Amino acid sequence: MSILNLALFAVLLLVLFSIYSKTQKLGLTVFIALLLGLASGALLQIFYEKPTIDTTLDWVNLVGGGYVRLLQMIVMPLVFISILSAITRLNQAKSLGKISFSVLSVLLVTTAISATIGIALVYLFDLSAEGLVAGERELAAQARVDGRVGQVSNLSVPAMLVSFIPRNPFAELTGANPTSIISTVIFSAFLGVAALSLAKEDQNLGERIAQGIETLNKLVMRLVRFVIRLTPYGVFALMIKMGATSQWADIVKLGNFIVASYIAIILMFIVHAILLFFVKINPLEYYKKVMPTLSFAFSSRSSAATLPLNIETQTNKLNNNHTIANFSATFGATIGQNGCAGIYPAMLAAMVAPTVGIDPFSLQYILTLILVVTISSFGIAGVGGGATFAAIVVLSSLDLPLALVGLLISVEPLIDMGRTALNVNGSMIAGTISNKCLNKPNAI
């Protein structure tokens, strides 16, 4: 039966190829691929036994996993050369400070708002950690969580900030550390500032350096466009895996938490739209342009893998300044994630607090929680990133038990899809608002 499944998979890939060839609309094709993949995965789970599903998914993952690895392949070269290229276009190095401050301010403010919304949803749905039963999968997950607590037990903001500075930039270019993206940005920024300094001393030398960097940038961007064209097929395969492996019984059991989480996520998308409206940008036009990128983020559950799509969307569709687009995309992949580092840990902290006799809705606790979530979101990359580590950092900082992190492992993948899309949208919002407020044209 696996051969038949793979034959149908190949046919559906050809259907998607035909749709894209005729329409030339990437967003529409990605959306169709998402729905088609989810339906196909659900049918696999309904009609086949686990051995057949596993064999089928092994082959399907050649497309889904292969696409994600292609994106991961180009992330570090893209970050390095695009940041370097963007800075060499600046007239003055001091512009970097304004851009960085603007992008980080938007990311952190929206994270604080997302934490507030998460707490409000816990109150409205009357969610609590009391009464949750740990099954075999949850207990195993809890053991893994306990094993990782040591990685964040001595966590401090200064230590996290220092970890961003690269000791060996060539090692960081391999993605060796959790903070490699930010470290590569810092290294590229220093090289860019050095290039600007040389250009002031010797204009001809500065022009030759800028031309060489721009040539490399165009080469990498052409590679990025080749990979992006494969998005519908990667999304289709990833959604098949999602639909075929989801534990629907667990989803029903924790339905209230899932519903509350997605309402919080949707509300943050609305908050993003309101922020766009305030800076006189049409939210509907914005979401129409970014939908393919959000669709991939939703299905891949990886902000880092979505980074090339993020930058391409900001520069080519939103017409954001090249420098701002690169900074917002790279910072947003590891700092101030509205979903994973905002909504999720805030909800868990509010749910766990009553189990240790704390009123989670007292003004003092709410303000403390929002502050801790916001600060922690700035340094999550220092401990490996992701919602699990964000939750560990926040709960540990507030001296709360960590059991709930493992207990919710059953529904993690489903919620993580929406959180990742929100993370990516938050970074694009930061870039778009910064671009508007700083009055930067698309090219400097």
CATH architecture of 2-437: Orthogonal Bundle (1.10)
pLDDT at residue 132, rounded to an integer: 53
pLDDT at 318: 93
Higher pLDDT, 233 or 133: 233
Question: Would the pLDDT of 34 be above 90?
Answer: no
Q: Where are the domains of the chain?
A: 2-437
The whole-number pLDDT of residue 334 equals: 73
pLDDT band at residue 281 using 50, 70 and 90 as cut-offs = very high
User: Which of 20-34, 103-117, 252-266, 408-422 has the largest mean confidence?
Assistant: 103-117
d(CA 189, CA 205): 19
pLDDT tier at 72, thresholds 50, 70, 90: confident
pLDDT in tens, 372-393: 888 777 655 433 346 766 777 7
Residue 136's pLDDT band (boundaries 50, 70, 90)? very low
Q: Give the per-residue pLDDT at 235.
A: 83
The larger pLDDT score, comparing residue 245 to residue 169, is at 169
Average pLDDT over residues 278-305: 88
Higher pLDDT pick, 117 / 142:
117
pLDDT band, residue 440 (cuts 50/70/90): low
Give the pLDDT of residue 425. 95
Q: Is the pLDDT of residue 50 over 50?
A: yes
- Label residue 133 by pLDDT band (50, 70, 90): very low
State the chain's mean pLDDT as an integer.
Answer: 81
> In this predicted structure, what is the pLDDT of residue 406?
57
Q: What is the pLDDT of residue 381?
A: 46
Average pLDDT over residues 195-204: 85
**Residue 430 — pLDDT band, cuts 50, 70, 90?**
very high
Q: How confident is the model at residue 306 (pLDDT cuts 50, 70, 90)?
A: confident
pLDDT at 92: 54
According to the model, what pLDDT value does residue 265 have? Answer: 96
pLDDT digits (tens, 9 = 90+) for 323-373: 888 888 888 877 788 988 899 889 988 988 888 888 888 998 999 899 888
Q: What is the pLDDT of residue 98?
A: 84
Summarize pLDDT for 85-125 with one digit per residue, the tens: 777 766 555 677 788 889 989 999 999 999 999 999 999 98
Reported as a single tens digit per residue, the pLDDT across 203-226 is: 888 888 888 988 888 888 788 778
